[in-house]
Amino acid sequence: MIETPRDAGFRMPGEFEPHARTWMSWPCSTEVYAGHLPDAQAAHARVARAIARFEPVVMLAPPEVASGARDSLGTDNIEILEVPLNDSWLRDNGPSFLTGPDGLAAVDWGFNAWGWLNEDYGDDAKAARRVIAEAGARRYAGPLILEGGGIHVDGEGTLITTEQCLLNRNRNPHLDKADIETFLGEYLGIDTVIWLTEGVENDCTDGHVDGICCFAAPGVVLAGSGDLTNPDARRRTERNLEILKSSTDARGRPLKVIEVPENAEPATYPPGLQSSGHMSLTYINFYICNGAVIVPQYGDPNDTLAAEIIAAAFPDRETVQVDSRTVAFGGGNIHCITQQEPAL
């Protein structure tokens, strides 16, 4: 019988728990960013430098662009690790770190580029193994296709995900909901799974939960209020909020749900990108690091209001807004390009 992380006493901590460092990947895909790649690299550098004020950052970069990454990032609290890559979303192709009595472990999930959205993903599928080795963590091979942006945990046995993503036939067609819940329990230490329905509209990730909501603390969830001018977005948001407000966590607590607005002004992807049409600029896709919350900034009228609501949920952390609109051109945002390694 295979020993699982739960057997060995491991669990996945909440993102708000102390970190050893943050892992990121340097943008390198002209397929994703087209002519906006230099701007996307500049945006990633802004995010990395903001985090590096509070904790160390390790930036994975393909050898052929590592020199340019060093020039953009500088060296203060940011390390460059040369690793072959296809894309820059380490939240999704990176590992899920765990802590337990024996120290640090990590789950190396299967990765198929969001249901074969991209043809070339072989290097990305191997990146988690390299990260795990560099971190000195015990590696567990995950038994399903799973991207880190598809889950949020509270560190106390509760996980939130969406049916649109984890039950999608392009991920794990041989598994049903009960199978997936069993694997999440055994590999992340989860006792309760809260299933939302769909993610934001026009989402190339098939409904990642990190565009919808996240845990600010055990029992406390920040959730996007959605685009109230869009009937489809309103339907999705209302259903997900209804589920969250009627759910209890693994400790039996009703969830406290704090709503955060989305962008007030409509946004669309620029021509020539892999993604097209309506662009959801959610503020929920922020990243929690030691002593700070790194929040997207879009030049939108709701930038200040959203940051104020998020800051109120994290009174002991500094709220740092970073211009990340160009990151959104690739289909994600700040949370999607970061991966926390918990402190022991």
Q: Residue 14: name the closest of 255, 162, 218 by CA.
A: 218
Longest dimension (CA), the chain: 56
- Annotation marks residue 165 as catalytic: no
| Residue in 28, 165, 213, 336 annotated catalytic | 336
Q: In sequence order, what are the residues at sequence separation of 6 or more whose Cβ sits closer than 8 angstroms to the Cβ of residue 1?
A: none
Residue 186: other Cβ atoms inside 10 A: 17
Q: What is the DSSP string of 215-258?
A: EEETTEEEEE---TT-HHHHHHHHHHHHHHHT-B-TTSPBPEEE
Question: ∠ CA 238-243-245 to the nearest 5 degrees?
Answer: 90
* Phi, psi (degrees; rounded to nearest 5) at 211: -100, 0
The residues carrying an active-site annotation are 336
